[in-house]
Amino acid sequence: MAISTLSNVAADLNLSLMQGKYWSTLLTLRDGTGVAIDVTGYEFRGHIRQTPTGTLVAAFTFTLEDAPNGLVRVELPSELAATLALPRYVYDWEYADNADEEHALVKGSISVVPEVTHV
């Protein structure tokens, strides 16, 4: 008998960000068969902290680019990226669906590359 693991733990995704620079990515949420999930009305959130229980350092911004096709933009504006002074942080992203059920999306560490060119 094969042993399988079912989990509600977020996928691991480590990020590397340049201090003080705008960062953005697009996510497409899909179900187990690869079909896009309609995320209309979903609420997304994501925090950056020094440790999982530490003080909030910054929050990602989420924009529904094409909700019926599961497309979500995740951003960290340059003014927030400028506040990342340590070399490493932790973060996660989650969402609440239309039934107010919370779901883990991704988690990981953030490596911050110091800015060299200053204006």
Does 5 score more than 80 pLDDT? no
Instruction: For each of the domains in the chain, give its residue range(s) and CATH number, in order of start.
Output: 11-113 (2.60.40.10)
The confidence score (pLDDT) of residue 4 equals 52
Among residues of the chain, what percentage have pLDDT more than 70? 93
pLDDT digits (tens, 9 = 90+) for 46-71: 999 999 999 999 999 999 999 999 99
Closest CA to 72 of 47, 41, 96, 39: 39
